[in-house]
Amino acid sequence: MDIPVHLRESRPTRLVVLLGLVATITLSAWLAFAVLRSLRQRTVVMAIYPEGSLNVELVKRYQQVLARKGLEVKLDESAGAVESLSDLRNPKSGVSVALVPGGITTKQDSPELVSLGTVLYQPLWVFSHGGLAHGHFQLTGRRVSIGPEGSSSRALSLEVLGRAGWIDQKSTTLLALPPVESAQALIRGDIDTAIFVDGWESPVVEQLLRTNGINLESIPRADALVRIYPYLNKLVLPAGAVDPAEPRPPTDVILIGPKSSLVVRRDLHAVIQYWLLEAAVEIHSTPSMFRAAGQFPAAESVDLPLSPYAQDFYKTGSPFLLRHVPFWLAVLLEQPLVWLIPFLVILFPVFRLAPAVYDWAERRRIYRLYSELKHLEDEMFYAAVRGGGHKDFIERLNRLEDQASHLSVPSAFKPLVYGLRLHIDIVRRQALKSIST
């Protein structure tokens, strides 16, 4: 049973409609997934350390800056950087961001983490009640607060001061007091020494620097220590930096300390990483006691490798989209553009060739029938026609015309079909004329 011509001609149209419907459904599903994913990405969890540390103020500033962009920063309290590193490595903890001083992890220990660059110096502050004996930096036999378990103060004190022989865990009474309690205990005289790893603007550091009877100790053999521990830096607090009139401190104080890095999980969304970097520029680029204007954030890899997005940021800044669209739209567009742009570059030549290929394919269907007609015409003029061969020749022409009549082609190619049928009729008339003579 022959299929009506109009139904045969509608097949390409129906196929195009079907493909368009499938593409629309696929695109809609992707958009729905991307929107839902972008809504989930509107929050990020950042570690925050005990009250009294500079970390508290910095993290809250990150929270405020990112809130202006539409990103909510939730805070996860921890005892310090060591504990936060453990949470960062654990994908089930939910923590994705933390400020981490150098010297407490490595690339091998934390393959899940990357750095967005260094953001500030965190000196190792050693405060003593009444001061140490002149020329004798020795903490053995003293009551010393080195910070709670899980803090960078404790980890670095035990590693650096312990190796130098200034802390003896057998003869030194080591206390795990958080910053505020440690400072208050030192001022009251309940402990002899308090050690902190914190920034210049730390509230407890500022308090102790201005308290009478509390001395800030210089670190002996600082040059040797920074060679032994590459993550450490030698810093100098100039005489009179706290109070030039008194002066306080009365002489230059030699300090050592790591740089703190903005550390994130490797799988943290690119948009959030870029916005954390933008926030870091706003928060850390101003001058301070131990940094020049614009020194931080810096594209430095202390313990962990730089994120690829951080590398791009320090070279060219944030991508154009992130500077001109809302957060949810940036999240929606950022990932597809990563693969869509090269995909379109690859497909561009295909798109240019597609019309020519399509035109060639449609014309070939018609020209194939022309070839058959040419073969029949040659047979008519150069082959001997005898007996029933005339009738067979006409029947073959009729079948060829039937094929041409049922040939389904787009409207642009129908004149070629009509031309083919006209030429078939011309050959038929010539054949009938030859038969009649």
For residue 111, the number of C-alpha atoms closer than 13 Å in the C-beta half-sphere is 1
Instruction: Give the separation between CA 74 and CA 227, rounded to whole angstroms.
Output: 38
DSSP 272-312: HHHHHHHHHHHHH-S-BTTB-TT--SB---SSSPBPHHHHH
Question: Residue 355 has which token pair?
Answer: 């019309």
Q: Domain ranges in the chain?
A: 349-436
* pLDDT of res. 3: 42
Nearest to 119 by CA among 261, 24, 326: 261
Nearest to 114 by CA among 300, 258, 292, 255: 300
Is 113:89 a contact under the CB 8 Å cutoff? Answer: yes
Residue 240 phi/psi, 5-degree rounding, is: 80, 5
Instruction: Give the separation between CA 214 and CA 127, rounded to whole angstroms.
Output: 6
| Regions of the chain with pLDDT less than 50 | 1-10, 13, 384-385, 387-388
Is 283:61 a contact under the CB 8 Å cutoff? Answer: yes
Nearest to 219 by CA among 208, 230, 235: 235
Instruction: Give the separation between CA 368 and CA 385, rounded to whole angstroms.
Output: 25
Please give the single-letter amino acid code of residue 81.
A
Predicted TM-score of the model (pTM): 0.70
CA distances for 3 relative to 24, 60, 399, 402, angstroms: 30, 74, 16, 13
Place of tokens 């940021």: 313
CA distances for 116 relative to 270, 277, 300, angstroms: 11, 7, 8
Instruction: Give the separation between CA 103 and CA 58, rounded to whole angstroms.
Output: 20
Question: Residue 330 has which token pair?
Answer: 């940036």
Is 198:258 a contact under the CB 8 Å cutoff? Answer: no
Strand 95-101 and strand 113-121: the pairing is unpaired
Is 70:328 a contact under the CB 8 Å cutoff? Answer: yes
Residue-wise pLDDT tens digits, 175-233: 999 999 999 999 999 999 999 999 999 999 999 999 999 999 999 999 999 999 999 99
Instruction: Give the separation between CA 89 and CA 112, rounded to whole angstroms.
Output: 6
Total residue length of the chain: 437
Nearest to 278 by CA among 262, 267, 260: 262
DSSP 157-213: IIIIIHHTTS--TTTSEEE---HHHHHHHHHHTSSSEEEEE--TT-HHHHHHHTSTT
CA distances for 386 relative to 186, 381, 390, 426, angstroms: 126, 13, 7, 21
For residue 7, the number of C-alpha atoms closer than 13 Å in the C-beta half-sphere is 3
Strand 143-145 and strand 173-175: the pairing is parallel
Is 53:179 a contact under the CB 8 Å cutoff? Answer: yes
* pLDDT of res. 72: 93
